[in-house]
């Protein structure tokens, strides 16, 4: 591996995990990417985590919303981290 983007190249047609800005996470099959890290994914599961504060008790309420999308394009500038999930422990 000579440059970081090679790691993305090795993940083509594999399931990948993508951490985005604003607590958004995507898991899907990687079909294409470019140097900006714009990406095309299929069979995507999107998870958005929000933390709200209960007005009465002041408790933090963590809620996760997930939804499934058949095919989508991710704009590279929201990407924070990319990892092939099958190799995560």
Examine residue 87 and tell whether it contacts other proteins (CB under 8 A): yes
Cα–Cα distance for residue pair 15/5, rounded to 1 Å: 16
- Taking the complex as a whole, the smallest distance from the CB of residue 55 to other proteins amounts, in Å, to 18
The two structure tokens encoding residue 1: 């591996």
Examine residue 57 and tell whether it contacts other proteins (CB under 8 A): no
Provide CB contacts within 8 A for 26, sequence distance 6+.
17, 18, 20, 41, 44, 45, 46, 47, 72, 74
Q: Which residues pair with 24 in a beta bridge?
A: 48
- Taking the complex as a whole, the smallest distance from the CB of residue 1 to other proteins amounts, in Å, to 6
CB-nearer residue toward other proteins: 22 or 70: 22
Examine residue 81 and tell whether it contacts other proteins (CB under 8 A): yes
Examine residue 3 and tell whether it contacts other proteins (CB under 8 A): yes
- Taking the complex as a whole, the smallest distance from the CB of residue 68 to other proteins amounts, in Å, to 22
């Amino acid at each position: 591996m000579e440059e970081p983007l090679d790691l993305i190249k090795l993940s083509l047609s594999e399931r990948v995990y993508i951490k985005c800005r604003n607590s958004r996470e995507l898991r899907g099959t990687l079909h294409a990417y470019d140097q900006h890290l714009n990406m095309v994914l299929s069979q995507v599961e999107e998870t958005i985590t929000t933390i709200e504060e209960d007005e009465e008790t002041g408790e933090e309420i963590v809620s996760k919303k997930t939804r499934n999308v058949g095919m989508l394009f991710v704009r590279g500038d929201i990407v924070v981290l990319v990892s092939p999930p099958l190799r995560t422990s």
